[in-house]
Amino acid sequence: MKAFPHTYTAAASADPIGNVMSSLENGCTVEVAPPAAFDGLGDVWSPEELLVAAVANCFVLSFRSIARAYDLNWVHVECSSAGQLEKVERQVKFTRVHASVKLTIASLEDSEKAKRILEKAEDTCFITNSLSAEVQLSCEIVTG
């Protein structure tokens, strides 16, 4: 890992009508538009969905890195997240984000180790650490 601080940049551009094009310096792009709740078509990513996806992705990447460092024998991890957007004191903001994780491990013997690694991933996820919303995590560990 490179020394801190890290800087991340992204850009967005739009015409009077149509979707917003978000891009990175490397040329990666994604179309963005309002979600159906804000009268959008709901057919492309919205900023709200990108935020809750960032939570899920950061958790999975944090888990994978920590599991590698602790030599956990795991098979698959899934994380879904849901955020609640509310109007609070004349501001619209996310008030809660709930992430649900399902981890498949190779052996039941690794259950306690897996639980500790999931907790460590929760503590080190810098996306959730950056949010003012309440963040809850529920985990399920199965063998397979």
Indicate which CATH number applies to the domain containing 136: 3.30.300.20
With respect to residue 26, please indicate whether it lies within any of the assigned structural domains.
Answer: no
With respect to residue 67, please indicate whether it lies within any of the assigned structural domains.
Answer: yes
The pLDDT assigned to 144 comes to 86
With respect to residue 117, please indicate whether it lies within any of the assigned structural domains.
Answer: yes
With respect to residue 30, please indicate whether it lies within any of the assigned structural domains.
Answer: no
With respect to residue 125, please indicate whether it lies within any of the assigned structural domains.
Answer: yes
Please tell me the pTM assigned to this model: 0.94
The pLDDT assigned to 79 comes to 98
Q: Comparing C-alpha atoms, which of 98, 95, 71, 73 is closest to residue 85?
A: 95
Residue 123 and residue 135 in contact, taking contact as beta carbons nearer than 8 Å:
no
pLDDT in tens, 97-127: 999 999 999 999 999 999 999 999 999 999 9
Tokens coding 15: 């015409």
Amino acid, single-letter form, for residue 7: T
Q: Per-residue pLDDT for 35 more than 90? A: yes
- Strand 134-143 to 91-105 pairing: parallel
Residue 33 and residue 41 in contact, taking contact as beta carbons nearer than 8 Å:
yes
At residue 143, φ and ψ (nearest 5 deg) are -110, 150
Q: Comparing C-alpha atoms, which of 48, 31, 32, 33 is closest to residue 92?
A: 48
Residue 121 and residue 63 in contact, taking contact as beta carbons nearer than 8 Å:
yes
Tell me the pLDDT band of 72, cut-offs 50, 70 and 90: very high
At residue 105, φ and ψ (nearest 5 deg) are -110, 160
Tokens coding 102: 């399902």
The pLDDT assigned to 127 comes to 97
Q: How many domains in the chain? A: 1
- Angle at which helix 111-124 crosses helix 47-69, to 10 degrees, equals 130
132: three-class secondary structure by DSSP = coil
With respect to residue 58, please indicate whether it lies within any of the assigned structural domains.
Answer: yes
How confident is the prediction for the chain on average, in pLDDT?
Answer: 97
Q: Per-residue pLDDT for 141 more than 90? A: yes
